[in-house]
Amino acid sequence: MQPALFTPIKIGPIEASNRIVISPMCMYAAEDGTASDFHIQHVMRFAMSGAGLSVLEATGVTPDGRISPACLGLWSDENERALAHVLASARRWGLPDAKIGIQLCHAGRKGSTPLPWERGGMLTPEKGAWQTLAPSAIASGEGQPMPREMTGQDIKDVIRAFAHASRRAARIGFDVIEMHAAHGYLLHQFHSPMSNKRTDEWGGDEEGRLRFPVAVAEAMREATPKHVALGARITSTDFVEGGLTVDDAVRLARELKARGFDYVCVSSGNIVQGGRPAAGPGFNIERAAKVKAESGLLTRTVGFIAGPQMAEEAISSGAVDQVALARAFLDDPNWAIHAAERLGVPLQGSRHYARVGPGAWPAASVSRAF
């Protein structure tokens, strides 16, 4: 029997050839938001990987919506041109049925951060620090930038920026557009009572705190043509007393479904510093299953999916519809091909690398025994 992991799936208007998704990962390799040669090889290797879908890193909808000065952006014609070239290269050389998406993000109070390898303290003005925005003027942790509370005009501007970036992403030709509403970034900051202390219509009770993410979702839906799949990464727990829980995730998923979103990817944590405790294999699967069961929306999960068997079990049990993996693909861009081999399914990789395809290279079993 065909393993469930390798069955195709319709995601709204598109179809992915299997249930494996490469999770978005910031690569800190852009200049002024513009993709570089790094992205050409990075996106292309994932387009050759055999994963049904890969989703590009958190991409700022405005310059101050980036996480770091080297994050991708999609606010200018130059950003759009460069990303269009990246996508065209990936489509030219990648597998013909590889679907490619992009994640749109505003980092809010978690913006203006140094690059991971530039350790120590806050980003300095010489290195391009900017004034961050947030629902309330509360830093995300000790030693983190103090954000400015957003005005009503700021809120409208950011909603519009998500719509503009969605239009650009669709024009470039991405198959999937993903709204980032998790990991402590701006949409999550509005949703969570840990970071939203507003007393106007954009805060207060659950309905008020949901108003901004839902308004962004509506603007993105309106801006995104119907042939492009639209989804969101959401959080299933803040891991802190008084924070968001899985019931809040179910509510958000229902709101998104009602507005024509095609999927959610259920993640967790990071609304406050240290807000993601050490977690074991498959740590979001159970909460994601609840979101799927109670929202009826196509559901993906992510987080330490430890190997092909766990991925297969998450799908075949009906817990979730897709699994996303991040670090496993950085470590092994051929993860999907190797998973297929392990589960006994033929999966054709790139013809350029056919000499190491399944069964084609006797040394494979030796080299992978490390």
Ligand X SMILES: Cc1cc2nc3c(=O)[nH]c(=O)nc-3n(C[C@H](O)[C@H](O)[C@H](O)COP(=O)(O)O)c2cc1C
Q: Which active-site residues does the annotation give?
A: 185
**One of 328, 337, 340, 347 touching ligand X (CB under 6 A):** 328
Q: How far apart are CA 85 and CA 76, in angstroms?
A: 15
Q: How far apart are CA 242 and CA 141, in angstroms?
A: 17
**Could you tell me if 8 and 18 are in contact, meaning their C-beta atoms sit under 8 angstroms apart?**
yes
Q: Shortest approach of ligand X to residue 326 CB, angstroms?
A: 3
**One of 127, 227, 327, 342 touching ligand X (CB under 6 A):** 327
Q: How far apart are CA 174 and CA 100, in angstroms?
A: 6
Which of the ranges 7-15, 186-194, 292-300, 324-332 carries the binding residues for ligand X, by CB under 6 A?
A: 324-332
Q: Shortest approach of ligand X to residue 72 CB, angstroms?
A: 9
Which of the ranges 20-28, 73-81, 155-163, 351-359 carries the binding residues for ligand X, by CB under 6 A?
A: 20-28
Strands (E), the chain: 9-11, 14-16, 20-22, 53-60, 99-105, 133-134, 148-149, 176-181, 229-235, 263-267, 298-302, 322-325
**Could you tell me if 113 and 200 are in contact, meaning their C-beta atoms sit under 8 angstroms apart?**
no
* Cα separations in angstroms, 150 against 51, 57, 165, 169, 320: 39, 25, 20, 26, 36
**Which secondary-structure segment (H or E) carries 93?**
helix 77-93
- Can you spell out the DSSP letters for 94-106? S-TT-EEEEEEE-
**One of 50, 108, 269, 303 touching ligand X (CB under 6 A):** 303
Q: How far apart are CA 34 and CA 70, in angstroms?
A: 9
Considering beta carbons, is residue 56 or 150 the nearer one to ligand X?
56
Helices (H), 123-205: 152-172, 186-191
Q: Shortest approach of ligand X to residue 183 CB, angstroms?
A: 6
**One of 221, 233, 292, 338 touching ligand X (CB under 6 A):** 233
Residue 120 exposed, middle or buried by CB count within 10 Å (0-12, 13-18, 19+):
exposed
Tell me the chain's radius of gyration from C-alpha atoms: 20
Output phi, psi for 148, to 5 deg: -95, 140
Q: Are strands 263-267 and 133-134 parallel, antiparallel or unpaired?
A: unpaired
Considering beta carbons, is residue 273 or 364 the nearer one to ligand X?
273
Of 177, 242, 255, give the one whose Cα is nearest residue 213. 255
Which of the ranges 163-171, 208-216, 241-249, 299-307 carries the binding residues for ligand X, by CB under 6 A?
A: 299-307
Q: Count of CB atoms within 10 A of residue 271's CB?
A: 27
302 binds ligand X (CB under 6 A): yes
300 binds ligand X (CB under 6 A): no
Considering beta carbons, is residue 293 or 306 the nearer one to ligand X?
306
Of 320, 370, 351, give the one whose Cα is nearest residue 4. 320
Within positions 234 to 293, which residues make up the interface with ligand X, using CB under 6 A?
Answer: 267
Considering beta carbons, is residue 21 or 250 the nearer one to ligand X?
21
Considering beta carbons, is residue 95 or 285 the nearer one to ligand X?
285
Q: Shortest approach of ligand X to residue 70 CB, angstroms?
A: 12
- Provide the mask over 48-67, with x wherever binding to ligand X is found by CB under 6 A and - wherever it is not: ---------xx---------
**One of 13, 304, 332, 358 touching ligand X (CB under 6 A):** 304
350 binds ligand X (CB under 6 A): no
Which of the ranges 23-31, 88-96, 191-199, 241-249 carries the binding residues for ligand X, by CB under 6 A?
A: 23-31
- Provide the mask over 68-107, with x wherever binding to ligand X is found by CB under 6 A and - wherever it is not: -----------------------------------x----
Sign of the Cα torsion 208, 213, 218, 222 reads positive
**One of 23, 189, 301, 322 touching ligand X (CB under 6 A):** 23
- Provide the mask over 173-212, with x wherever binding to ligand X is found by CB under 6 A and - wherever it is not: -------x--x-----------------------------
Q: Shortest approach of ligand X to residue 153 CB, angstroms?
A: 27
**List of residues contacting ligand X (CB under 6 A):** 23-26, 57-58, 103, 180, 183, 233, 267, 302-305, 325-328
